[in-house]
Structure 1
């Protein structure tokens, strides 16, 4: 198993140090090597918190997380992260942003540039390496962010609602692009979303979280056949979508009434 999450919980202490709240409680989840697993849940269920723990940006207050059998302790180059906001350096070109992720490697400047170009080509942006983030069309900066994370050859790529801020057309286009990249690289991907359609369209499996404190309510195996064209029609897609919705439905009213934090 590539990633194993065992009994993970996370509590946060409020301004009044006598009070705390649990964001996660007893999370158990396995991610298989080379799979694209989507994690879906209502706002505030702890999806982003869980990814922070896996990335090593915070420590769980209970349980443990193992990558290739080794407990995680802090950040590492074995994990790449793509956030909702693409977080590129505005004063660096697309190529230079990717090269920045490679500066810790024992490689020449030319070797880093060649590798950065290779990953720009992979995400369909070949020839645009000299563009600055503000010069890239809508959706392209996220492609650069994905290329930057993949260039370090991570064992696991974490994507935290990376397409949430995009319009519907761009979002669907990037979903198809992500599937193409995943099929070509074989990288293990964990992708969070609030969209049932996105979760089913992308995931080989869909893990469904409860409202806070977040737990894994269930995991839906998805078999839509060939992934070209990101299939969204047909009875099988509808059946998987309904199953994910059934798992989510009991928490929707609770999520709407309760204060949230993610």
Structure 2
């Protein structure tokens, strides 16, 4: 399987007001994301997961190293990448269909084609019949489906997802996890998915990339390979084994992140 995203020795620093030393979010981060794979990314709070996703999306630039997509350096946002954030970021004055059409308008897609593509992608995420509903008329899970449809509508090669289900209750979250896997299997997109949930990471990912505490880098990549995905996967013995392994990798990093927070709180960070 060929490499789609190549992250090479990436470093990201931020200048903080009233301090001499820069804040280092990422240091020496290396990661390959394969063409068409679903990769999940986990790590302790503040380890730089979202920063790394922003760098892949071209929303910010690395302080060192480089990120390549299809062998070309990332130099800014592009239509080859779609981004789904935790907050839905829908326009409240636009219907579900019109929200999905927004990116297509900017791309100059003709009106009739925009409407057809919007309907197709709303159907794809299970929202057929809800095209003319406004965001306030939809549940949280449905609004997140609209956000996913909007990101898919302009047909990006890569889908970047930053804890998109974190604000949802357990039942709609698990439903959307299953829906997302179905969409991924159908479309063949390359997906990078950030989550705080180990269960979610193992359930969704073909591989789980575990990050260290700040400054973040990749500690280990866990290959997830189930014999079958039929039935209740979360109850399978292999699921528990993968979950335990990922948690073992994370445990020391979470402790280190808490110690960093403690030092900052008492003025020694």
Provide the secondary structure at the position in 2 that maps to 1:2. strand
Q: Counterpart of 1:125?
A: 127
Instruction: From 191, 194, 212, give the equivalent of 1:192.
Output: 194
Tell me the distance in 2 between the aligned counterparts of 1:98 and 1:58.
Answer: 25
More helix by share: 2
Partner of 1:75: 77
Instruction: Give the superposition deviation at 1:259.
Output: 2.6
- Deviates further, 211-220 or 99-108: 99-108
Could you report, residue by residue, the CA deviation over 1:33-86 in whole angstroms, capped at 9, with x for unpaired residues? 111000001111100000111111110001000000000001111110000001
Secondary structure at the counterpart of residue 164 of structure 1 = coil
Distance (whole Å) between structure 2 residues aligned to residue 63 and residue 32 of structure 1 = 19
Distance (Å, rounded) in 1 between the aligned partners of 2:184 and 2:101: 21
Residue 150 of structure 1: how far off its partner (Å): 0.5
What TM-score, normalized to structure 1?
Answer: 0.96
Match of 1:28 among 22, 25, 30: 30
Q: Which residue in 1 is equivalent to 2:267?
A: none
Alpha-carbon contact 1:79-1:158 (below 8 Å) kept: yes
Partner of 1:114: 116
8 Å CA contact 2:41–2:201 kept in 1: the answer is yes
Counterpart CA distance in 1 for 2:16 and 2:94 is 38
Q: 1:138 aligns with which of 125, 133, 140?
A: 140
**How do residues 2-151 of structure 1 correspond to structure 2 at under 5 angstroms?**
2-16=4-18, 18-151=20-153
Q: Distance in 1 between matches of 2:109 and 2:232?
A: 37
- SS of the counterpart of 1:225? coil
Query: Where does structure 2 lack aligned partners over 5 or more consecutive residues?
Result: 265-269
Could you say which residue in structure 2 is the equivalent of 1:161? 163
| Structure 1: segments with no counterpart, 5+ residues | none
| Aligned-partner SS, 2:115 | helix
Number of paired residues?
A: 261
- Contact kept in structure 2, 1:3 and 1:31, CA below 8 Å: yes
Q: Report what 1:220 is aligned to.
A: 222
- C-alpha change, 1:223 and 1:11, in structure 2 (3 Å) is same
1:70-129 per-residue CA deviation (whole Å, 9 max, x = no partner) reads 000011111100000010101100000011110133432011100100000000000100
Contact preservation (8 Å) 1:44, 1:212: yes
- Equivalent pair of 2:13/2:23 in contact (CA under 8 Å): yes
Query: Matches of 1:3 and 1:165 in 2, distance apart?
Result: 28
SS at match of 2:107: coil
The answer to whether the 8 Å contact 1:201/1:230 transfers is no
In structure 2, the partner of 1:237 is 239
**1:239-258 aligned within 5 A:** 239-258=241-260
Does the aligned pair in 1 maintain the 2:125–2:145 contact within 8 Å? yes
Q: CA deviation at 1:18?
A: 1.9
Stretches (4+) displaced over 6 A: none
The Cα shift of 1:230 comes to: 6.6
